[in-house]
């Protein structure tokens, strides 16, 4: 999923993201606002993931929901 598509569908995908990563708060999801870099950064912070691991998970999530 390219950057524009995830940003455009973010409101629809927020619930799916919260199901996948239960530690994400509503404030986290609002902050992410469909931006891939912010999404990966929040996953790193909440789950203690490496940058590469968080980016891979975001990519997998995007592919799954494209």
Give per-residue pLDDT as tens, 22-58.
Answer: 999 999 999 999 898 999 999 999 999 999 999 999 9
The DSSP secondary-structure symbol of 34 reads T
Nearest alpha carbon to residue 58 among 34, 26, 23: 34
Kindly tell me if the per-residue pLDDT of 3 is higher than 70.
no
Considering only residues 65 and 26, tell me which one the structure prediction assigns the higher pLDDT.
26
Burial of 54 (0-12, 13-18, 19+ CB in 10 A): buried
With cut-offs at 50, 70 and 90, classify the pLDDT of residue 11. Answer: confident
CA distance 51 to 55: 6
Provide the angle, in degrees to the nearest 10, between the axes of the packed helices 3-20 and 51-64. 100
With cut-offs at 50, 70 and 90, classify the pLDDT of residue 2. Answer: low
CA distance 54 to 64: 15
């Amino acid at each position: 999923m390219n950057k524009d598509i995830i940003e455009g569908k973010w409101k629809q995908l927020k619930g799916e993201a919260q199901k996948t990563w239960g530690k994400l708060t509503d404030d986290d999801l609002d902050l992410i606002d469909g931006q891939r870099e912010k999404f990966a950064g929040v996953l790193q912070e909440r789950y203690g993931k490496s940058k590469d691991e968080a980016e891979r998970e975001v990519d997998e999530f995007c592919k799954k929901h494209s």
